[in-house]
Amino acid sequence: MASLTEDPVLGINDIKEREEENEKGNTQVVKTEEVGQSERDMASATGSSIHRSGSRPQLDLSKAAIQGNFEERDPTILLPNQSDDLSHLALDIGGSLIKLVYFSRHEDQSIDDKRKKTLKERLGISNGNRRSYPILGGRLHFVKFETNKINECLDFIYSKQLHRGGMDARIWNPDAPTNENAVIKATGGGAYKFADLFKERLGVSLDKEDEMNCLVSGANFLLKAIRHEAFTHMEGHKEFVQIDQNELFPYLLVNIGSGVSMIKVDGDGKFQRISGTNVGGGTYWGLGRLLTKCKSFDELLELSQLGDNRTIDMLVGDIYGGMDYSKIGLSASTIASSFGKAISENKELEDYSPEDISLSLLRMISYNIGQISYLNALRFGLKRIFFGGFFIRGHAYTMDTISFAVQFWSKGDAQAMFLRHEGFLGALGAFMSYEKHGLDDLMVHHLVERFPMGAPYTGGKIHGPPLGDLNEKISWMEKFVRKGTEITAPVPMAPTGTTGLGGFEVPSSKGGTLRSDASALNIGVLHLVPTLEVFPLLADPKTYEPNTIDLSDHGELEYWFTVLSEQLPDLVDKAVASEGGTDDAKRRGDAFARAFSAHLARLMEEPTAYGKLGLANLLELREECLREFQFVDAYRSIKQRENEASLAVLADLLMELDSMTEETRLLTLIEGVLAANIFDWGSRACVDLYHKGTIIEIYRMSRNKMQRPWRVDDFDVFKERMLGSGDKKPRPHKRALLFVDNSGADVILGMLPLARELLRRGTEVVLVANSLPALNDVTAMELPEIVAEAAKHCDILRRAAEAGGLLVDAMVSTLDDSKGHSSSVPLMVVENGCGSPCIDLRQVSSELAAAAKEADLIILEGMGRALHTNFNARFKCDALKLAMVKNQRLAEKLIKGNIYNCVCRYEPLS
């Protein structure tokens, strides 16, 4: 077993002293600058031109990226080359509800960077013309108001200045003249009814769009753009449906608003209204208000949770003496006549429970809609029926009732499906009707649905515009903790054992509590991320599932929630320390912990609240919560310290490797990657190790204990591909994508030496790293500096870094120029487009997608990228997955092994 030399350049005691000095040096407050788009465009190079598809000139999607903004709740997506302003608001004003979709942006500065610009040119991606004035970022938000409270809606629009381009526009250009001819797109009957009121209150005109056009346009857009938009709901079980866009049409769209419209959709802009019914949401609310005196739709739904319809509905069993009518397939519990018992009983209205009335009314209308929908689908041979509209409101009982009706009448041949953004179809369609948006051209990789970070703090009984700044948000969290569940919040509010959205029970059960904000909390903000694309090397993107762990298993879900909760105190300490340990940082750290815990509690009760849930989603949620409370990089000082310690011994490691035979060196390199992967602050077991020695001591221990065969050991197959057998030498790979993991020893002592070996063999190397910080993972912005420092001790790395544009003039001047500038295959760095310890290869940066087109080897390293996600992924090229398992549960589930077992999984392209 090879090991590091016993006398490294920087001794262990020196490392400890340096670590102590760095710890002291990082106690000051570090102000993190907001990062401009050009700073995020990481350098990469290639010998061949790589092209990307363009987009409509009116909405310039080039070079967009997620961007942290301390003034807003969510990171904003910048459109750095956007030259036209975007309209900011569209409405669907129905008889019962007003639905808003609005677009937010903010100011940021663009900073040119020679290295990154050079890299872009090497990738063959046009940089476009930089703007010297504020950049437009894009996010779509969803808000609803009751139509009879239209003044609250107008106040909301005015408070955010949405009718004048948004608050952000006022901030960067407060002296801009008011547009006297401002126009807002609107659909629904209220667009005509309230046109004068909008003109009077806001000084804007409503440009009316056809309601059916908007409904279809909005539905098509969501079904194409949002991966986890459509789902089925039967007996309390929610299951997301993967929609093949080539098989989407035709379908039946049933929009349940005040009334019901049934639309046969044959394609984009191709549809016809084939039927409808006047018995819809307005019927339920109107009759419910007359019969129960409820003052709101949500109150009426909440009553239904406690009802028993058997006291009012006449059942088959009531007619047949408690028996089924099996000859025609009717059970005794089937409703023979809604409200039928009221005929034969000598009772007045006040003798019936409002809860029972509400439930009976809900079942009557839902069954009726489900039956009529199926009959119309049958007329045209349609197998898929999508239900939308605010009558449903994410209400499990309603969805189960509709689903049962469709299944019953079709004998299982047709399927009812529901939409998460069910109530905003018309508003989305109206928003897209602005000709210059071009949103109808966007596909799945252009939009990312982020967790509704603001919703837990502004939903429910909290009225008015969303919280304006971080202090308000933290104050709200403090009030929430003091008052507990008195404030509507994302915490369990229904008895345990219930199922379905919002904790609602299945139709046969009773009890439970309906949140007044249930529908709002199920809708995330849609981030316009045009640089995210499907990774082109996936063997089958349609069947690709990144998450290895199935969190639909309640026991599995509970285990990982416990793990994340136990890690929370340590993470808060690191986050606070990264901001200098100030009182403000402590306050934000406390607020982060409470917010993240509230999200975990909500998801424990309702796992599908924010879409399909996997372990990768949980880890991403944690990172977004950190960014929400302004913790940009919680492990910044730790990463810096570990990078310095690892760079100090890199030269000796490279010297040792160069003294080995080719075969021994390749094995030692793979051992080094696996050993260095032990440094993971996301693992509780590894955090405990940090208290037992320095980074170098732990690395040595890890290497010395490594014994083959590993738990998953395909090294010999990989060795034959790299070195061949006998006199037959294989051709080198053309380009390798190395998905790196942790900072410090992991990337510097593990992956960089492996990259160096590939470069030595004539393979272009692209180091793929996170766009945003997550735990102690290295980022694409940090890698060039690390490579530059490593290149000072290695000619191979230096020449490759120069060829790849990683060394700018200032860096090159520090090297020994006497060694010349001979040509070399390039070493490049690209960002992966995410800020999570895991990676979903359906959403990667355009730079990574471009670089992948010439790649024939993928190396995925680390638990997050190679085990938690992508362990089962298949590719169109050779793939090597390397990781040390640092969680006992994962070891048992995935490889039937133990903690600290190693995985070396090689999958050659057959």
The answer on pLDDT for 691 being more than 90 is no
Model pLDDT for residues 498-511, shown as the tens digit of each residue:
222 222 222 332 33
Q: Which superfamily, per CATH, for 84-106+135-165+181-229+420-454+519-530? A: ATPase, nucleotide binding domain (3.30.420.40)
**Residue 165 pLDDT > 70:** no
Mean pLDDT of 744-755: 95
Q: Which residue has the tokens 């035709």?
A: 250
Contact in structure between 103 and 88 (CB atoms under 8 Å): yes
- pLDDT average, residue stretch 159-170: 64
Query: Each residue of 441-474: pLDDT tens digit?
Result: 444 445 666 666 553 333 333 333 345 567 766 7
What is 378-446 written as a DSSP string?
HHTT--EEEEESTTTTT-HHHHHHHHHHHHHHHTTSSEEEEETTGGGHHHHHHHHTSTTT-GGG--GGG
Q: How many CB atoms lie within 10 A of CB 567?
A: 17
Tokens for 414, please give them. Answer: 């047709």
pTM for this entry: 0.74
- Which pLDDT belongs to residue 27? 33
Q: Is a pLDDT exceeding 80 seen at residue 553? A: yes
Q: What is the mean pLDDT of residues 829-851?
A: 91
User: Residue 237 phi/psi, 5° resolution?
Assistant: -100, 125
pLDDT in tens, 779-810: 999 999 999 999 998 999 999 999 998 885 44
- In whole angstroms, give the CA distance from residue 750 to residue 653: 10
Q: What is the CA 877 to chain-centroid distance, rounded?
A: 27
Q: Which residues pair with 261 in a beta bridge?
A: 255, 276
Q: What is the mean pLDDT of residues 357-370?
A: 95
Going by C-alpha positions, the residue among 409, 410, 360, 417 that lies closest to residue 392 is 417
pLDDT number for residue 144: 83
316 neighbors 333 (Cβ within 8 angstroms): yes
Tokens of 864: 């997050």
When mean pLDDT is compared across 13-27, 520-534, 563-577, the lowest value belongs to 13-27
Q: Report which of 371, 368, 419 is spatially closest to residue 392, judged by C-alpha positions.
A: 419
Alpha helices in 265-395, H assignment, sequence order: 281-292, 297-304, 316-319, 341-344, 354-379
Largest pairwise CA distance in the chain? 106
DSSP conformation class of 853:
T
Handedness of CA 19, 25, 29, 34 (dihedral sign): negative
- Extract the tokens encoding 57: 């000139």
- Statement: residue 355 has pLDDT above 90: yes
Between 389 and 682, where is the model more confident? 389
Residues 367 and 235: their CA atoms lie apart, in Å, by 15
Is the per-residue pLDDT at 685 higher than 60?
no
Q: With cut-offs at 50, 70 and 90, classify the pLDDT of residue 813.
A: very low
Region 664-682: mean pLDDT is: 83
Average pLDDT over residues 834-843: 91
> For residue 370, what pLDDT is reported?
95
- Count of positions (residues) in the chain: 910
Kindly report, residue by residue over 287-306, the tens digit of the pLDDT. Answer: 999 999 998 888 898 899 89
Class of domain 638-809+823-907: alpha beta
Higher pLDDT, 123 or 204: 204
Higher-pLDDT residue of 148 and 530 is 148
Q: Which residues pair with 827 in a beta bridge?
A: 765
For the chain, first and last CA: distance in Å?
Answer: 32
Q: Which residue type does 182 have? A: A
Fold of 534-629: AF1104-like (1.20.1700)
* Range in 13-27, 79-93, 432-446 with the lowest mean pLDDT: 13-27
SS3 362: helix
Instruction: Indicate the pLDDT class of residue 336, thresholds 50, 70 and 90.
Output: confident
Least confident of 41-50, 148-157, 552-561: 41-50
pLDDT at 169: 43
The rounded mean pLDDT for the chain is 76
> Is the Cβ–Cβ distance between 834 and 840 less than 8 Å?
yes
Total Cβ atoms within 10 A of residue 614: 22
Q: Please, which pLDDT band fits residue 365 given cuts at 50, 70 and 90?
A: very high
Q: How many Cα neighbours within 13 Å face the side chain of 122?
A: 29
Return the residue matching tokens 């019927």: 283
Residue predicted with more confidence, 189 or 594: 189
Please tell me the least confidently modeled range out of 52-61, 210-219, 344-353, 568-577.
52-61
pLDDT, position 868: 94
Tokens of 794: 């290695």
Rounded average pLDDT over 835-860: 92
User: Hey, where are the domains in the chain?
Assistant: 84-106+135-165+181-229+420-454+519-530, 534-629, 638-809+823-907
pLDDT of residue 275: 96
Percent of the chain with pLDDT over 70: 70
pLDDT above 70 for 582: yes
- Tokens encoding 176: 């801009």
Pairing relation of β-strands 89-93 and 827-831?
unpaired
Mean pLDDT for the stretch of residues 641-663: 92
Residue 317 has pLDDT above 50, yes or no: yes
Q: What is the percent of the chain where pLDDT is above 90?
A: 44
Contact (CB, 8 A) for 430 and 191: no
